């Protein structure tokens, strides 16, 4: 074994066994080099590999720290069977839980980062400098200058992007409902990931669509199963979140993205990529979108600034070089145009150096918060719980021990004012009845840690 | 004949004959009393009757002025036959004209007042004072505090109004599309006024709805004809604008409003009142809404601040004591919530004394602009043209001489950059092919008067 492998292996075991606890500082590179009688470079190599694999984390100017992951991450969440269901029935079944989720503003259940992470001052200054530009009617597709800013912001991950291909919407929710109304007709079959964002079921309900759920594994949607599904029936559309999937937190590999696009193209299936968390993928480079791997004209991107700049702006967009005109017509019928005041305020910010700096800082801070929450939950959750560290964003998808009734946990903790999202709403089927989704996007202050500790009682 | 009637009749004829030109000042009350050897009160009575009937206009502190109306208003626009059509086909037929209307920003075609009339400074100040309140997610139905402001603003015309009955939307366009999706199923028959706002046809197209057009006369929708229609078929919904109808400018009398509500109630038909121009009805008291005349639970109000505070805010609402919850669910699927930044900026303005003052000043100024445009058009339009003076708002609905091809006029004037809305798009049927709708909501500056004079050439 090479020296740096020996050192890697030693620390890995110390962390996995809990001998080095989550949050504990590792020896500095210099100290470790002296201690093991190797070079600084050897230690650096070992530490970098440990960091790449998620065992430790580098904090700027303060050294390397073990990540709290041992107990929760040693078991991967289960992969459900595939199942076909009626969107209408599912929509109705979920109404009760759903209503309680949306009528409270508990920070544990909301799927957005802590509000302290948004560039509020900058946007409020921009709102104060609108100079009447927000008064006149514009195009239903959105202000041309703002669409250009969205296109510029997209080019890092998607290559050259045309402002004409973009339709501005009232958040990603309207982006998806406009796309569904454009492409889906009553009785069509639509593929969703399993688990997936619960509002999809509600949005599909009016179409009387047939929902085909395909499980999400460590590399995203199970593409072998997807292939069997599209071989066995006519599928109209696939809705997928290849980057930082909600709730699982999984980001597909580049190879899986390319294969997903190729599968959709092979059967001429509309492939709707929901990328609301793409800007919040951890790491130095932003996760790339499906269109970066395929020229397939049926790829339709929906996204939003709600998770990265501010939910209350309600500004999202659809990008489709092929169908932009039809989508703009549907948007016109749905709600004419989106708030121009917000479009103008955002125009001065999106695709600037300040925007890039904001996203970089937000990703770094979210990663710390997510790790801090995982460390805390390691102590709170019952033996046998597991999760996968998310690839970005702010959501933790927690498998409680098999047989646990997560909805009962939800009910009990809700009575204490602590609302996490119960797993049952993330599927048409009872695959995730032992899961909870928790928002880890807030600073883990002493108060928040104390509030979270109420969860422990909810398992009693 | 009583003395004040003699005086009334004398001035009426002088104005109708053109002996007193539009815009010309009448003798002061004192002068007229001296001249006719009657009392000041007698003159005042006569002048008030002339003002009530629209022959003259009182300008604060400057006296009474004749209105320019003689030539254009002596013939009332024709009333079309009723006709049933397919919303889908109509939607497609109108696409071409519609696209050109929405892709230009000609001030003649847009259906909103001149942008100088909106309270821009005040709103921009409010945007600059948001204090982060716009960041967090709220309820899909809208911010509770803002809904309370809408309810307060409604009480003047509608009596006690509950904030819980209001769902905030992305403009009246989304309000109507959410209402249609809540109530209308494929194949249902829907009554529209004829002529009516063209976007309704597009919005109804996806439902494959059957459209029943009922003509608009001097007192709004022809209620005898409506009664025959609802006796002869199953009608699901009526969409009507009883206040300042677009494009005709007609406001229904209180009696007609009561009868319309009673007719809808008698057959359990959903009665959707679109009130986007209600705040802009001329006169000292705001026009009242249908719900002021009926307790029928099937009355659903849709409205907007786009015509009175600023189109680019995209804030409208639906009010329904009976169906608010179902409508909020549909809004959740459509686009989650509406721009909170705009809701918060508006919260500080709506239902304040400043808001009431703004509406009062805006109505008075719009009335002057409308009259100025009518005076100018009297000289520009070909012999045989006619219009009814609108009861509010900023739109003139002009009948060109029978046989005139208004779409050809539209095409010719469009080449000069002057886009008025051609009559054909305001109906599923060819009832209004000789009509033009013109925006008279801008100050009639020398430049605008000159631009409008290009219209004359378009009739050549």
pLDDT value, residue A12: 80
pLDDT tens string B73-96: 444 455 555 566 666 666 666 665
Beta bridge partners, A217, equal A220
The residue written with tokens 């050439």 in the block is B457
Interface test with B, best of A118, A170, A176 (most B CBs within 10 A): A170
The predicted pLDDT at position B183 comes to 96
So what's the pLDDT on residue A208?
A: 78
- Give tens-digit pLDDT for A360-370: 999 999 999 99
Give the one of B205, B314, B336 whose C-beta lies nearest to A337's C-beta: B314
Q: What is the pLDDT of residues B397-432, one digit of tens each?
A: 999 988 899 888 888 887 777 778 889 889 988 889
* pLDDT value for B19: 79
**How many separate helices (H) and strands (E) can be counted in chain B?**
16, 14
Task: Locate the chain A residue with the closest alpha carbon to B178.
Answer: A334
What is the pLDDT, as a whole number, of residue B97?
A: 65
Could you report the per-residue pLDDT of A272-331, keeping only the tens digit for each? 999 999 999 998 778 899 999 999 999 999 999 999 998 888 999 999 999 999 999 999
> Which pLDDT belongs to residue B375?
87
Question: A274 phi and psi, to 5 degrees?
Answer: -95, 115
Considering only CB atoms, which chain A residues are within 8 Å of B310?
Answer: 134-135, 341
pLDDT tens digit sequence for A407-443: 888 888 877 777 788 898 899 888 899 999 999 999 9
Q: Which residues of B touch A120 (CB under 8 A)?
A: 132, 135
CB-based contact B115 A102, cutoff 8 Å: no
Closest to B170 (Cβ–Cβ): which among A95, A131, A335? A335
Q: What is the structure's pLDDT at B69?
A: 52
Per-residue model confidence (pLDDT) at position A263: 98
Residues of chain B above pLDDT 70, percent: 89
pLDDT in tens, B272-323: 999 999 999 998 778 899 999 999 999 999 999 999 998 888 999 999 999 9
Q: Which of A86-90, A129-133, B53-57 has the lowest mean pLDDT?
A: A86-90
Query: By CA distance, what is B333's nearest residue in A?
Result: A203
Chain A residue numbers touching B110 (CB-CB < 8 A) = 136-137
Contacts of A203 in chain B (CB under 8 A): 333
Contacts of B333 in chain A (CB under 8 A): 173, 177, 199, 202-203, 205-206
Which residues in A lie closer than 8 A to residue B137 (C-beta atoms)? Answer: 105, 110, 112, 311-312
Q: Give the separation between CA A390 and CA B14, rounded to whole angstroms.
A: 82
Model pLDDT, residue A105: 47
Q: What is the largest CA-CA distance in chain A?
A: 71
What pLDDT band is residue A271 in, cutting at 50, 70 and 90? very high
Reply yes or no on whether the pLDDT at B103 is more than 60. Answer: no
- Nearest Cα of chain B lies from the Cα of A327 at a distance, in angstroms, of 13
pLDDT score, position A3: 79
- Rounded Cα distance between A322 and A315, Å, is 22
What pLDDT is attached to residue A78? 56
- In this complex, the residue of B112, B140, B315 whose CB is nearest that of residue A137 is B112
A190-229 pLDDT, tens digit per residue, is: 999 999 998 899 898 887 789 999 999 999 999 999 999 9
Q: How confident is the model at residue A83 (pLDDT cuts 50, 70, 90)?
A: low
Relative to beta strand A395-399, strand A386-387 is antiparallel
Give the chain A residue whose CA is nearest to the CA of B328: A99
pLDDT attached to residue B112: 82
Weakest mean pLDDT among A248-252, A278-282, B71-75, B142-146: B71-75
- Mean pLDDT estimate for chain A: 87
Q: How far is A111 from chain B (nearest CA, A)?
A: 10
Mutation test of the interface with chain A: which of B92, B103, B167, B170, choosing the one with the most A Cβ atoms within 10 A?
B170
Residue of B123, B169, B333 lying closest to A203 (CB–CB): B333
Q: What is the pLDDT of residue B75?
A: 43
Q: Which of A228-237, B8-17, B131-140, B189-198 has the lowest mean pLDDT?
A: B131-140
Which of chain B's residues have a Cβ under 8 Å away from the Cβ of A313? 134, 339-341
**CB within 8 Å: B312 and A124:** no
More confident residue, A77 or A359: A359
Check residues A20 and B108 and name the one with the higher pLDDT. A20
Of residues B276 and A401, more confidence is placed in B276
Query: Which residues of chain A are within 8 Å of residue B184 when distances are taken between CB atoms?
Result: none
Q: What is the 3-state secondary structure (H, E, C) of chain A?
A: CCHHHHHHHHHHHHHHHCCCCCCCECCCHHHHHHHHCCCHHHHHHHHHHHHHCCCEEEECCCEEEECCCHHHHCCCCCCCCCEEEEHHHHHHHHHHHHHHHHCCCCCCCCCCCCHHHCCHHHHHHHHHCCCCCCCCCCCCCCCHHHHHHHHHHHHHHHCCCCHHHEEEECHHHHHHHHHHHHHCCCCCEEEEEECCCCHHHHHHHHHCCEEEEEEEECCEECHHHHHHHHHHCCCCEEEECCCCCCCCCCCCCHHHHHHHHHHHHHHCCEEEEECCCHHHECCCCCCCCHHHCCCCCCEEEEEECCCCCCHHHCCEEEECCCCHHHHHHHHHHHHCCCCHHHHHHHHCCCCCHHHHHHHHHHHHHHHHHHHHHHHHHHHHCCCCCEECCCCECCEEEEECCCCCCHHHHHHHHHHCCCCCEEHHHHCCCCCCCCEEEEECCCCCCHHHHHHHHHHHHHCC
DSSP B344: H
What would the pLDDT profile of B195-254 be if each residue is shown by its tens digit? Answer: 999 889 989 888 778 999 999 999 999 999 999 999 999 999 999 999 999 999 999 999
pLDDT in tens, A152-176: 999 988 888 999 999 999 999 999 9
pLDDT digit string, tens, across residues B128-138: 888 777 777 66
Under 8 Å CB pairs connecting chains A and B tally to: 199
pLDDT at A104 over 60: no
Taken in order of first residue, the domains within chain B and their CATH numbers are: 3-67 (1.10.10.10), 73-78+355-458 (3.90.1150.10), 83-90+119-354 (3.40.640.10)
Residue B159 per-residue DSSP state: S
Distance from CA of B453 to the nearest CA of A (A): 24
pLDDT band at A457 (very low <50, low <70, confident <90, very high): confident
pLDDT at B105: 47
CB contact under 8 A, A335 and B310: no
CA distance A268 to chain B (A): 23
């Amino acid at each position: 074994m090479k020296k740096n492998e020996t050192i890697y292996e030693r620390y890995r075991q110390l962390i996995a066994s809990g001998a080095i606890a989550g949050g504990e500082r590792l020896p500095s590179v210099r100290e470790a080099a002296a201690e093991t009688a190797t070079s600084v470079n050897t230690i650096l190599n070992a530490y970098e590999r440990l960091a790449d694999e998620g065992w430790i984390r580098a904090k700027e100017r303060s050294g390397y720290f073990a990540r709290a992951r041992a107990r929760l991450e040693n078991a991967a969440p289960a992969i459900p069977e595939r199942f076909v269901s009626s969107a209408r029935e599912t929509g109705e079944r979920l109404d009760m839980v759903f209503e309680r989720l949306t009528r409270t503003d508990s920070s544990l259940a909301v799927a957005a980062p802590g509000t302290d992470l948004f560039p509020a001052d900058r946007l409020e200054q921009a709102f104060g400098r609108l100079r009447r530009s927000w008064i006149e009617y514009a195009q239903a597709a959105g202000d041309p200058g703002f669409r250009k800013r969205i296109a510029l912001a997209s080019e890092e991950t998607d290559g050259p992007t045309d402002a004409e291909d973009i339709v501005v919407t009232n958040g990603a929710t309207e982006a998806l409902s406009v796309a569904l109304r454009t492409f889906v007709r009553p009785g069509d079959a639509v593929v969703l990931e399993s688990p997936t964002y619960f509002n999809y079921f509600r949005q599909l309900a009016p179409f009387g669509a047939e929902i085909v759920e395909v499980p999400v594994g460590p590399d995203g949607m199970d593409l072998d199963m997807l292939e069997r599904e599209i071989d066995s029936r006519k599928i109209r559309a696939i809705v997928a979140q290849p980057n930082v999937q909600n709730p699982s937190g999984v980001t597909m590999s580049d190879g899986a993205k390319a294969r997903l696009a190729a599968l959709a193209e092979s059967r001429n299936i509309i492939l709707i990529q929901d990328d609301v968390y793409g800007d919040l993928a951890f790491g130095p480079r932003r996760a790339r979108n499906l269109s970066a791997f395929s020229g397939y004209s049926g790829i339709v991107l929906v996204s939003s600034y709600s998770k990265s700049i501010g939910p209350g702006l309600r500004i999202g967009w659809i990008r489709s070089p092929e169908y932009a005109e039809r989508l703009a017509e549907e948007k016109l019928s749905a709600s004419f145009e989106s708030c121009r005041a917000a479009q103008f305020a955002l125009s001065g910010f999106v695709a600037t150096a300040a925007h890039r700096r904001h996203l970089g800082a937000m990703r770094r801070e979210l990663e710390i918060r997510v790790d801090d929450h995982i460390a805390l939950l390691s102590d709170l959750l019952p033996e046998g719980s597991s999760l996968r560290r998310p690839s970005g964003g702010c959501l933790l998808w927690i498998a409680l021990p098999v047989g646990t009734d997560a909805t009962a946990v939800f009910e009990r903790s809700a009575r204490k004012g602590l609302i996490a999202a119960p797993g049952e709403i993330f599927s048409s089927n009872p695959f995730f009845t032992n899961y909870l989704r928790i928002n880890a996007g807030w600073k883990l202050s002493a108060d928040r840690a104390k509030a979270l500790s109420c969860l422990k009682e909810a398992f009693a």
